Each structure stands twice: as structure tokens, then as C-alpha cells.
Amino acid sequence: MTAAVTRISEDDGLRHDWTPAEVEALFALPFMDLLHQAHLLHRTHFDPNRIQISRLLSIKTGGCPEDCSYCPQSAHHATGLEREKLLAVEEVIAAAAKAKEDGASRFCMGAAWRGPKGDDFQVALAMIEGVKGLGLETCASFGLLSREQARQLKEAGLDYYNHNLDTSPEHYGEIVHTRTFQDRLDTIEHVQDAGLHVCSGGIVGLGEQARDRAAMLIALANLPHHPDSVPINLLIPIPGPPLAETARPDPVDFVRTIAVARVMMPKSFVRLSAGREGMTPEMQALCFFAGANSVFCGEKLLTARNASPQQDKGLFERLGLRPL
Ligand code: SAM
Ligand code: DTB
Ligand code: SF4
């Protein structure tokens, strides 16, 4: 039995036994009822006027051996993206210092790897030590990890590890063929066992059904511990990957996904993650009302454009949202 369907009742006052019927019923609630419930829970556990700000940097771009249908960095799709070498430690530390100046509290390093290997992993460990030395929270997204690699990351000063489930166990095989959903769960287990904070969420817009969104959130909430941070990405349709032509999801359904994540994982940070660039200020405000309380700021995500820093500044001022 996989962790996705294991019912674990931890004594943390949080639920780890969500059923598909319950979660599908949450998705089917009238929008106002769902938002009301999500917002009340949000206020119980968080200051609704504060958001956590992270900054992303791609430390190794393109040429990834995995075939994730959504990703511009996969070597399997002709995206026109240049394959780059691993950045130098000093470049990463300089970018992190700039992110700190710009108000980020966490610096997330992403790599187009199936998982870290050999000398590159040693360099990545040095990056983490250096960024941690600046007084920032550190996050890494390096793909699949062994138990030992998770331990070494913790020792280097890593705070968070990002490893998304991305979609439901049932839909996963349609989206990625070079690894399994269980591989992802195994890495999350290694990360949790190493004492690292887990950042794990998924993507809306992969041609999934409402029941897949429910199943993905169940897989996250029924883990032994809720992820500390739950990024909800809206697919950025980049020409090249097979999903580029998929119809864009209904924005109302996207907001519902944020709200249901908030209800199921009331103490986790829910991040309005990739895809903000194309969202109106009103849509983002609805997402924050529904329980999103974290974003990526900065011109760029990993390879794609992000919401502009000037627009973000204006939006947060208009909404009275202050960085944590
Ligand atoms: N290679 C590592 C991995 O797959 O875990 C880390 C980097 S990978 C780019 C990190 C995450 O980016 C993916 O899990 C996925 O959720 C997100 N992502 C990739 N391409 C995206 C796209 N076009 N739109 C939205 N999110 C995307
Ligand atoms: C996450 O959930 N989203 C981020 C981060 N974790 C690593 C990545 C978004 C990538 C968007 C596409 C790109 O920039 O290439
Ligand atoms: Fe590689 Fe990660 Fe992109 Fe998949 S999502 S192709 S593993 S960089």
C-alpha cells in the first residue's frame, strides 16, 4: 500500500485520513461556501495580511533526462531552451544576496536533474552552505534523492526540499514516463526522515479531472506530516512540451484548488506558485482570500517569466499584504 492511501492519524491535531468522497464534496461546494470555510480556517492559523516571499534560481538549466510533459527543461521536448552548465557557487551566492536585498526570506535552487550526482552534488552542497551563511532560509529542488543524499543536504544547512507530486497517482503515468508516483513518495519519505521541511504540491492544467485534483491533495494531506509548504502551480504552457496545447483550466477551478488545499492542510503555507504572470490582480486577490499565503517574487521563475516585481509591489500595497 502506498503512503498516498495509507490512513495515518498523527497526534498533530490535523487530519491525515481524507477520503475521495469528502474531498470531491469540498470541490463541489458552492464557491462562496468553500471560500468562506477556507478563509475562516486561514484566519485561525495565519495572519491573513502577511505573505511569505521566496525567490527561485535555476542552478542547472535544460537538458533534463526526464520526460515530464509539462516541462520546458526536458531533453525529450524541442523547446528551444539552451542547455546550460551548473552555475558557479559564487554566482549563486551573489544572486541570493540580491534576493535578500529585494525582501525574499527563502532562496530556492532548482536543477534540471533526475536527481543529483557526483561532483555536481558536492558543488550544490557548497551553494547551500553559502546561501545559508547569508541568513536566508534555503530550499532545493534537485529531483529524486536517496536517504543518504537527503541527510547530506540537511547537514549542509538545507531547510526545505521541494518535490512536487504534480498530479494524482492515477493521472501521473499520462504525464511522466521516466519515473513513477511511488518514486516521488519515496523521496518525500527520505526528506521527512532526514528532518528537512517538505515543500510539495502540484500543477493545475495538466488535462486532469476534478477527481485528480482531489486525489493529488489527498496524497499530500495523507502523508505522515502535511508538507510545510504546498505550491499550487498553474501550468505555464511553453511551446514544445506536449501539454502546451492543453485547454487552460477555468480560473474559478484554480481558486477552488487553493481553497481545498487550505481546508485540508490548514497549517501549511499554500503557495500561489507558477502562472501568476498571466493572472489578473483580482484573480490573485481571490487566491489570497482562499488561503494562499506565499509567492515567488522576481523577474523569473526557473526559465519562465514571473509576475513583474513592480506590479507585485503595487498589488501587495493595494491589498495591504506585508511580507513575513
Ligand atoms: N527536476 C526537479 C523535479 O522535477 O523535481 C526540480 C525542478 S522541476 C522544474 C520543479 C517543478 O516545476 C515541477 O515539479 C513542476 O511542478 C514545476 N513546473 C515545471 N514546468 C512547469 C510549467 N511549465 N508550469 C508550471 N509548473 C512547472
Ligand atoms: C514549484 O512548485 N514551482 C517552481 C518550484 N517549485 C521549483 C518551479 C516553477 C517552474 C515554472 C516553469 C519554469 O520557470 O521553467
Ligand atoms: Fe526535469 Fe524536473 Fe523538468 Fe521533469 S520537471 S523534466 S525532472 S527539470
Q: Is 143 in the pocket of ligand 3 (CB under 6 A)?
A: yes
How many beta carbons lie within 10 A of that of residue 41, not counting itself?
Answer: 18
At 43-93, the pLDDT tens digits run 999 999 999 999 999 999 999 999 999 999 999 998 888 899 999 999 999
Beta bridge partners of 74: 64
Q: Is 249 in the pocket of ligand 1 (CB under 6 A)?
A: no
Candidates 207, 216, 196; CA nearest to 5 is 216
Q: Is 206 in the pocket of ligand 1 (CB under 6 A)?
A: no
**Residue 1 placed within a domain:** no
What separation in angstroms does the CA of 64 have from each of 77, 110, 206? 10, 12, 19
Q: Which of 54, 60, 70, 234 has the most ligand 1 atoms within 8 A of CB, as the residue to mutate?
A: 70
pTM above 0.75, yes or no: yes
Alpha helices (H) in 112-209, listed in sequence order: 118-133, 147-156, 169-175, 181-193
Across 8-12, 98-102, 146-150, the highest mean pLDDT is recorded for 146-150
Catalytic member of 55, 68, 179, 213 = 68
pLDDT band at 4, cuts 50/70/90? very low
**Residue 19 placed within a domain:** no
Of the two residues 238 and 296, the one the predictor is more confident about is 296
Task: Please confirm, yes or no, whether 297 is among the known catalytic residues.
Answer: no
Of the two residues 114 and 246, the one the predictor is more confident about is 114
User: Which atom of ligand 3 is nearest the CA belonging to 114?
Assistant: 7
Q: Which ligand approaches the C-alpha of residue 240 most closely? A: 1
Q: Which ligand approaches the C-alpha of residue 199 most closely? A: 2
Q: Is 303 in the pocket of ligand 3 (CB under 6 A)?
A: no
Q: Is 131 in the pocket of ligand 1 (CB under 6 A)?
A: no
Range of the domain at 309: 29-323
**Residue 92 placed within a domain:** yes
C-alpha–C-alpha distance, residues 240 and 251, integer Å: 23
CA of 279 to the centre of ligand 3 (A): 24
pLDDT band at 5, cuts 50/70/90? very low
Write out the H or E segment, with its range, that includes residue 204: strand 202-204
Q: Tell me, what's the pLDDT at 7?
A: 44
At 268-304, the pLDDT tens digits run 999 999 999 989 999 999 999 999 999 999 999 999 9
Total of domains in the chain: 1
Q: Tell me, what's the pLDDT at 10?
A: 54
Task: Please confirm, yes or no, whether 64 is among the known catalytic residues.
Answer: yes
**Residue 261 placed within a domain:** yes
pLDDT band at 210, cuts 50/70/90? very high
Task: Please confirm, yes or no, whether 287 is among the known catalytic residues.
Answer: no
C-alpha–C-alpha distance, residues 159 and 297, integer Å: 19
CA of 231 to the centre of ligand 1 (A): 11
**Residue 11 placed within a domain:** no
Q: Which ligand approaches the C-alpha of residue 75 most closely? A: 3
Q: Is 293 in the pocket of ligand 3 (CB under 6 A)?
A: no
**Residue 5 placed within a domain:** no
**Residue 2 placed within a domain:** no
**Residue 147 placed within a domain:** yes
Q: Is 233 in the pocket of ligand 3 (CB under 6 A)?
A: no
Candidates 110, 59, 73, 76; CA nearest to 231 is 110
Percent of the chain with pLDDT over 90: 90
CATH of the domain at 138: 3.20.20.70
pLDDT band at 244, cuts 50/70/90? low
User: Which atom of ligand 2 is nearest the CA belonging to 141?
Assistant: 7
